[in-house]
Amino acid sequence: MSAKSQGFPWNLLVGFILSIALTLLAVFVAIYTDFSNHVILWVLGVLAIFQAIIQLFMFMHVTEGKEGIINVINMVNSIILALIIVFGSIWVLTSGHASLH
């Protein structure tokens, strides 16, 4: 065993505490604020993205190993492709480019 694996897993503890804090913040925003539904959904979406990033890096160890940076590059490329598909589809369907002449 390496010296790193014998110590206390601080990164897991920090990730757990951050995940709990983000969850409690989301509950607070959803229940106890006077924001409009639109703002609440945006705040919850942003908090969900932060929590997903924490989960990937703290618990799933995406950057570890020989292929760590390749995993991160593949995830970024996948996210960009998904965003292009979703927002491109919304743009085409709402701007009238698909006319039936």
User: Whole-angstrom Cα distance, residue 85 to residue 2?
Assistant: 44
Show the low-confidence residues of the chain (pLDDT under 50): 1-3
Per-residue tokens: 83: 């965003």
- Helices vs strands, H then E, count in the chain: 4, 0
Single-letter amino acid code for the residue at 85: I
pLDDT in tens, 28-56: 999 999 999 999 999 999 999 999 989 88
| pLDDT in the model for residue 5 | 58
Residue 3 has a pLDDT of 47
| Residue 52 · residue 98 · CB < 8 Å | no
Residue 40, both tokens: 């609440």
Give me the residue spans of the domains in the chain.
Answer: 1-61, 65-101
- Which pLDDT does position 23 carry in this prediction? 95
Determine the length of the chain: 101
The residue whose two tokens read 């965003």 is 83
pLDDT at 85: 97
Tell me what pLDDT residue 57 has. Answer: 83
Within 13 Å, how many C-alpha atoms sit on residue 68's CB side? 9
pLDDT, residue 96, reads 74
